[in-house]
Every structure is written in C-alpha cells, then in structure tokens.
Structure 1
Amino acid sequence: MATTKNVVAPVDEMLPAPKLFLFGLQHVLAMYAGAVAVPLIIAAAAGLTQAQTAFLINADLFTCGIATLLQTLGIWKIGIKIPVIQGVTFAAVTPMVIMAKSGGMPLIFGSVIVAGLFTFLAAPYFSKLIRFFPPIVTGSIITIIGVSLLPVGVNWAAGGVGNKNFGSLTFIAVAAIVLLAILLINKLFTGFISHIAVLLGLIVGLVVAIPFGLVDFSGVASAPWIGIDTPFFFGFPTFDIGSIIAMILVMLVVMVESTGDFLAIGEMVGKKIGEKDLTAGLRADGLATMLGGIFNAFPYTAFAQNVGLVGLTGVKSRFVVATSGLILVVLGLFPKMATIIASLPVPVLGGAGIAMFGIVAASGIKTLAKVDFEKNVNNIFIVAISIGIGLIPVVVPTFFQHFPSWSQTIMHSGITLGSITAIVLNAFFNGSKGAGDIDELKENAGMNA
C-alpha cells in the first residue's frame, strides 16, 4: 500500500534534463510555424516595418512560453497541469486584421486585455458545462480536431498555401521522407529513440532539404542576439466596445476548443479532467490572453497541433511541455536563435504534421470505441452529424459566406461548429448525463439505452 501511494502519475513524472530538453524541443518545432503565422498576418495588415514585425514575433514567442508555463506548472488555481502547449488562436485573426486596419495595434491589445479578463472571470461558470462532455461528445470533438487539422499538414507538405511552386514533387518528396523516417524510427527503435521520432524525422528532413535549396539561413546573420519584450511597445491600448465584443466572442470559441483539447490530452495521459481542472485551465487561457495584450501579443489557447504529438510519442509528462515553455521564452529573448528555428522548411513540417494530426483523429476514434452504439442507435447520429457539420468549413470554406459578419468567427471554426453540434445532439437524444465526473460520464455513455 505504501509503495502504491508513492507511485508518480505519468503526467507528473520528472524526466532527466537531457530528455526534457529534447522532448520539449520536439514540441516547439512542431508548433513553431503556427506560432509565428498570426503575428506575420497581423503585422502585414497593420503595415508594420520589418523591425516591428520581428519584435512582434519575438513578443509572441515570449508570451507563448509564459502561457505554456502557466498551464503546465500552474500557480494557485490557475493552470490545468497537463502537457498542453499554448499558442495564438487562429480564431482571432479575422477580427484582429479588421482592428489593425482601423485602429492599429493599440486597438487590438485593448480588446485582447478585456477579453482575457472576461475569460478569467467566466472560467468557473463555463467549466460547469463539463457534464455535457461524455465520451460520445469528447470522442466526436477529438476526431473533428484531428480531421480539421489534416489539411494544414497536407498544405505544409505541398509547400504551404501561397507558395508559387505549391504541389512541387520536391516538396512532396521531402515531406514523404520525413513521414517515412518517423515510421521507420518507430518500427526499428523503442524507448527514448522512438519517443523523439518526430524530432529525428524533422532533422532528417532538414538535411535532405538543404541540397534542394529549401533551407534559407540568410536572416540569421542580420538577426539581433537579444530582444527584450517591453509592455505596450506599440503604445497604450485603446478600448472600443465593438472590438471588445468581437474579441469576447472569439474567446467563447476558444473556451469550447480548449475544453476539447484538455479532454483529449486528459484521455491520452490518463488524467481525469473534472470541473476544477477545467476551471484552472480556462483561467490560464484568460490570464495568458491578458498578458498577451500587455506584452504586445494576442489571445492564447491550447495548440491542437501538439495534442497529436503527445499521442504519437507516448510521452505524458507535463514537465516536458513546461520545458517547451522555457525554450519559447528563450527564443523570444534571443531573436537569432528564433530565426534558426524559423529556417525549418514548411514541407519538412508537413511530413510530421500528417502523422501528428492523424494521431489526434485516431485518438478520437479510440474514445468513441468506448461508446455503446448497439443499445443506443441514436449515438451513431450524434457522431455522424457532428463530424459532418464540423467538416463543412474544412471541405467548403465559403459555405457560410452569406451569414452575418458577427457569426463568421464561429462559422469558420469547424472545431467549434462540431463541438456545439455534438453537445446539442447529445443533450437532445441522451439528456444531461453525469455531474462532471469523467468516469461516471463514461459509464453513463455506455448504459444510456
């Protein structure tokens, strides 16, 4: 009995420093392209100079790191303490582009600060909805997350959207080599080597891409060694009711998506996610978003890209992702190092992305395998319709183009659409099952004939 009590849960396991660094770096490489994409888009919309754009990227990386540390390590009742990496939500891109053009960066940061405060205060109330997330819902959401992300990996493999040589055989070949390397490493090795299969695959891809001229280190020499993120660098924030409402709507979407990501990771690492855990996680999202507005960055959420990496590697320790947070902070303070990481070609990321995002979808299917489809035939409709509606923005991005402008943030997020559909259909067919305890929800989902 005494021995059992002293066993450390996998999610709380502290690994040796070298392993922490390599596993953490693997997470950073997997999310880096997505992390810098939003600041690049906003900088272009705001007409920032090259130097200002570089500062914005570094500020974003720095705040990504702080947000990740908050979520993985936790302080007080803030942070869910699972291996979840934080990044800028793409749900906020459209309203922020509009704000950048109309009021500049101060208008963005003002609305981000208020929306972050709203999220922090609303977290305890929103988390009560966890009783509406039995396995039939969580499995559907996790599957939608994975399938929705697959086009991102495929586009990376083809060279990235907007690339004039999109679909080049060279790009696809490099991505295929990365994917093959990951599969071979998992097949031939066990233990530590197999756990860093993605990192090794990315290194193989980088080496292969160099002779093809896909790797550009030209910006490294000109990048400064040190860059300090100072609060309100672009001016004191301005506050506009319309912009604040738009950003709060974004954060409501973020809370739905974060809940799905938290539950997905909880399933993978074997940690029961209850109402208090969800509250702590959403509070961390809110606090990180407030810090984002102060430190010249944006709204933060769980990065779904890295959910697949947890499932693919089987490394469950939250301290691994906390190390990722430290690496991101360092990258934000040392632009030259960040520029080196940024030199990783997009097709290389594509090979890894296809594997990681596919793993997320497979994890959702694994969760759905616990659901009783024989005694309760309505469950098949919940899964089918929620996935079908969730994939509408992925399959036909212009499907909702004539809907009101205020609804576009929701309509363009397949994860949010699918989540809402699954929740509503489950409530319609099965009622409100359970009271927030995930084990009880699992039992109910299997007995709701």
Structure 2
Amino acid sequence: MSSASNLALDGGLAEGRDPASSTPTAAAPISRVPPVALGLLGLQHVLVMYAGAVAVPLIVGRALKLPPEQVAMLVSADLFAGGLATLVQSWGLPGIGIRMPVMMGVTFAAVTPMVAMGTNPEIGLTGIYGAVMAAGLFAFLVAPLVGRLLPLFPPVVTGTIILVIGISLMRVGVNWAAGGVGNPNYGALIYLGIAAFVLCLILAITRYTTGFINSASVLIGIVVGTVLAALLGLVDASHVATAAWFDIVRPFAFGFPTFDLVSIVTLCIVMIVVMIESTGMFLALAEICADPVDEQRLTRGLRGDGLGTLIGGLFNTFPYTSFSQNVGLVGVTGVRTRYVAVIGGVIMLGLGLIPKLAALVEAVPQCVLGGAGLVMFGMVGATGARILGSVDFAKNRNNLFIVAVSVGFGMIPLVAPTFFKQMPHALHPLLESGILLCAISAVVLNLFFNGLTSSTDPREAAKVQAVSSGH
C-alpha cells in the first residue's frame, strides 16, 4: 500500500473514541502521518482558508471606520479565536466537537447585520460582541434539537445540498483567479495566467506523483505560484517588515460587552442558518471521509459551532462556522485524519499571536489561491454529484423534481443577488444564503414526495453510500 493510501485511510482517531463516551466514533487508524508531513498538510489547510478567514474582520472593521491598528487587532483576534474554535471541533472536548478534519472561520452570513449593529451608536462594537456571545450560547443549547433533524437528510437531500455548496463556492474561486473582487485590474491576463499555472501544476502533481507529494499538491501549487507571482512583482511584502513579532490577544479589548435584545435575536437567527449550513458541511465531510455522522455526533459538531462563536465574542471577533473550502481540500488530498485540522488550528493560534507570520501568509496573492480554489471547490460539488448517483431516479421520478427545484432555489442568491431586495430586511440573512434556501427546499420537497421513509436510518444510509463510492 502506498503512503498516499495510508494517509487517506487514517481516520485520525486513536482517537477512535469520544472523550465523553466509550463508543467508537470511527474506524481505528491504520497508519500515522509523519510529523513533518502533518505540519505541512496543516499549513496547507490554513493557506486555503486564510483569505476568507480574515475577510470578515477587514470588512466589518473598515465599515465601522476603525483605525488601522484596531482593524489589525480584529484580524489577529479572528485568527486566534479561529484556532481555538478549530481545536474544539477537530480535537474535541467531552460532548463537544465533530472530531473530523474541520477548520473553523468567521461566517459571512453575519456580516450585514453586524455592520448594521456597529454603525448604530447605541449598539456599537460592544453590542456586537454581546450579541455574538448570546448567539453562541443559544446555538450550544439548541444543538441537540437541530441534531435530531438528521433523518430529514437522506441522500437525495444531502447530495443536492452538497452540490449547491460546491457550485456556490466556485464563485469565490473564480473571483480569486481574476484577482479578487474590488481589484481595479480584475480579470487581467497576468492573474488568469498565474491561476491557470497553479491549476495545471496541481493537476500534474496529482497525476504523476504519489505519497506525501501527491497529498500536498495544493500546498506546493500555492507556494510555487506565490514565487512566480513574486518574480512578476505581484507580491507586496512591505507590511511583513513592519508587523510586530508578538502580540497578546486580550479578551474584551474594546470594552465589556453590552446586550441588545433585537441584536441578539438577529444573530440567533443567523446561527440557525449557520447550523443548517454546518450540517451540510459535516455530511459532505462524512461522505468524503467514509466516516458516517449520526445524531449524537452531529449534535457535538453543532455544539462546537456554538462554543466557537462564544469564544469569538469573548476575544473580540465574530460567529464561527466550518469552512467549506477545507472540505474540498480533504477531497483533493485524500488525507482524512483530523490531526491535519488540529495542526491547522495550532498554526492559526500562532498567526494570531505572531502578527509578522500572519502578514507573511497574507502576502499570498488571490490569483494564486484562485487556481487552487477551482480544484477544491469543484471537488465539493463532485461529492454531491456522486451522492446523487446513488439515488434512484428511475423508479422514483419525484426525486428529479426535488433536485431540480432545490438547485434552482440555491442558485437565486448566486445569479440574482437583488432577487429578494423588496422582502423585509429582517429576512435577508435567511434569503441571502443559497445553501439555506436549497436545504429548506430539498427537505420540504422530500417530505412532500417521499415522507420520512426515505431516511429511516441515516447512519446506515451513509454507510451504504460510502461503500458504493468505493471507500
């Protein structure tokens, strides 16, 4: 068996038991990833998510017209808290954490309401953090209720949702490849050329290598692409020299949180969206890792989202969720051990405490990430298509309608961002998530056409899907 196969087969559990239970959560590991390889694979996960991880504090900080040093503080706090949240999900605590290769970052679903809160002088940043902490506690408490909804997600539903997740992410990858949204030279040939080079390099490494080199194809593509971009004058590393070597992330750096009822209710609604999206991410990861998720494990994962968000409010940052681009990376590399995410979480902690390292990682151009993103995000969509391949469309034509209509709903925010412009503003956090619209449509239509009989045993259904996919 090749080392690549060994990496892929490692379920990451010695691990095979939840700290709070003697029940195995997955198959015992077959091999161990060497420490150096594990560190590089963890770095690969951080590089893939970095741009998205720091985007929200940058957007919120600039929208609130904070001075540059406070915006930098938000970024460091985001990385530090994201590292803690990642460790909670991947390493796990008693009764908390999905214990899979999950990387956590700030959700974009909360940006609009948080900017509205922050620009209100009666609420401000302290009001945002109070609402974030309350919403995290809310998510933690209602996680068991959401976990009981797993029977509503048979293969026709999960496959459709995961397909839409992948398609939605492609917009991010395409924009990265063109230089990033807001770039005055968006779509320049030099950006497209570098993205194409990185894409071709990743595909060549995947085709012609084995073992660790094969598993680290995305990391190698990003590093070589960054070197090429630097030679072409596209890497600005000037801020690396001025960044501090060490800085402590302090709780309540902007003052003790305040609590506004309307703001709390708004972010609690956002957390419901986040938990439904996380459910889709966890099920996608379960398919890729051939490691089924049952109700109890899903509840632990959703509690991880809640605790991560609570940690975010404590350390001056925002609501956290599992990053779907990293789910795609697991599919590309075939490395399924949760310890790559554990190492990734430790690296994020370091980036939060060492601003100079964070500035170095930030110097990676978006066009380089775009070439890698096209591969990774496409893998998420391909996973959804593979799941749908196990659905019976011949004998049950109703499944065709479930997929067709749900994909259509999921595409609305993607192809027509102002489609729901005339709807009440309070509903925008719900209506602007294509993944949520797809999930609601798929669940409701499946109940309408098939009832609950299509998902009497979600865990067994996931096992059957894993076997049928050749894992």
Whether TM-score is above 0.5 comes out as yes
Map Cα deviations across residues 107-155 of structure 1 (whole Å, 9 max, x no partner).
1100000000000000011110000001111100110000001011000
- Show the counterpart of 2:385: 365
Map Cα deviations across residues 265-289 of structure 1 (whole Å, 9 max, x no partner).
0111111100000000000100110
- Show the counterpart of 1:106: 126
1:132 aligns with 2:133: no
- Show the counterpart of 1:408: 428
- Show the counterpart of 2:459: 438
TM-score (structure 1 length as normaliser): 0.96
What amino acid is aligned across from residue 73 of structure 2 in structure 1?
F
What amino acid is aligned across from residue 354 of structure 2 in structure 1?
F
- 1:210 and 1:441, CA in 2 relative to 1: closer, same or farther beyond 3 A? closer
What amino acid is aligned across from residue 438 of structure 1 in structure 2?
R
Map Cα deviations across residues 157-191 of structure 1 (whole Å, 9 max, x no partner).
00111110001001100100000100111111012
What amino acid is aligned across from residue 95 of structure 1 in structure 2?
P
Q: CA deviation at 1:199?
A: 0.3
1:234 aligns with 2:235: no
**Any idea what SS the aligned residue of 1:242 has?**
helix
Provide the rounded CA distance (Å) in 2 between the counterparts of 1:241 and 1:208.
51
Contact 1:258–1:301 (Cα < 8 Å) also in 2: yes
Provide the rounded CA distance (Å) in 1 between the counterparts of 2:458 and 2:111.
35
Provide the rounded CA distance (Å) in 1 between the counterparts of 2:10 and 2:410.
34
- 1:189 and 1:245, CA in 2 relative to 1: closer, same or farther beyond 3 A? same
Provide the rounded CA distance (Å) in 2 between the counterparts of 1:442 and 1:27.
27
After superposition, residues 12-411 of structure 1 pair within 5 angstroms as 12=13, 13=29, 14-102=32-120, 103-411=123-431
1:426 to 422, 435, 446: 446
**Any idea what SS the aligned residue of 1:391 has?**
helix
Provide the rounded CA distance (Å) in 2 between the counterparts of 1:437 and 1:96.
36
Contact 2:155–2:461 (Cα < 8 Å) also in 1: no
Q: CA deviation at 1:437?
A: 3.3
Provide the rounded CA distance (Å) in 2 between the counterparts of 1:362 and 1:420.
21
TM-score (structure 2 length as normaliser): 0.91
Provide the rounded CA distance (Å) in 1 between the counterparts of 2:353 and 2:321.
21
Contact 1:128–1:436 (Cα < 8 Å) also in 2: no
What amino acid is aligned across from residue 413 of structure 2 in structure 1?
P
Q: CA deviation at 1:436?
A: 5.1
- 1:436 and 1:222, CA in 2 relative to 1: closer, same or farther beyond 3 A? farther
**Any idea what SS the aligned residue of 2:394 has?**
coil
What amino acid is aligned across from residue 168 of structure 1 in structure 2?
A
> Kindly, what percent of the aligned residue pairs are identical?
53
**Any idea what SS the aligned residue of 1:75 has?**
coil
Structure 2: segments with no counterpart, 5+ residues: 1-8, 14-28, 466-471
Provide the rounded CA distance (Å) in 1 between the counterparts of 2:221 and 2:238.
24
Let me know the Cα RMSD of the aligned residues.
1.3
What amino acid is aligned across from residue 354 of structure 1 in structure 2?
L
Contact 2:292–2:462 (Cα < 8 Å) also in 1: no
Contact 1:11–1:271 (Cα < 8 Å) also in 2: no
What amino acid is aligned across from residue 100 of structure 1 in structure 2?
G
Provide the rounded CA distance (Å) in 1 between the counterparts of 2:464 and 2:365.
46
Provide the rounded CA distance (Å) in 2 between the counterparts of 1:10 and 1:246.
38
Contact 1:289–1:298 (Cα < 8 Å) also in 2: yes
Provide the rounded CA distance (Å) in 2 between the counterparts of 1:329 and 1:179.
29
Contact 1:64–1:88 (Cα < 8 Å) also in 2: yes
Provide the rounded CA distance (Å) in 1 between the counterparts of 2:310 and 2:187.
40
What amino acid is aligned across from residue 194 of structure 2 in structure 1?
V
Equivalent residue pairs, number:
437
Q: CA deviation at 1:227?
A: 1.2
Q: CA deviation at 1:45?
A: 1.6
Contact 2:177–2:192 (Cα < 8 Å) also in 1: yes
Contact 2:243–2:356 (Cα < 8 Å) also in 1: yes
Structure 1: segments with no counterpart, 5+ residues: 1-7, 445-449
Q: CA deviation at 1:16?
A: 1.6
Q: CA deviation at 1:342?
A: 0.1
Provide the rounded CA distance (Å) in 1 between the counterparts of 2:35 and 2:320.
27
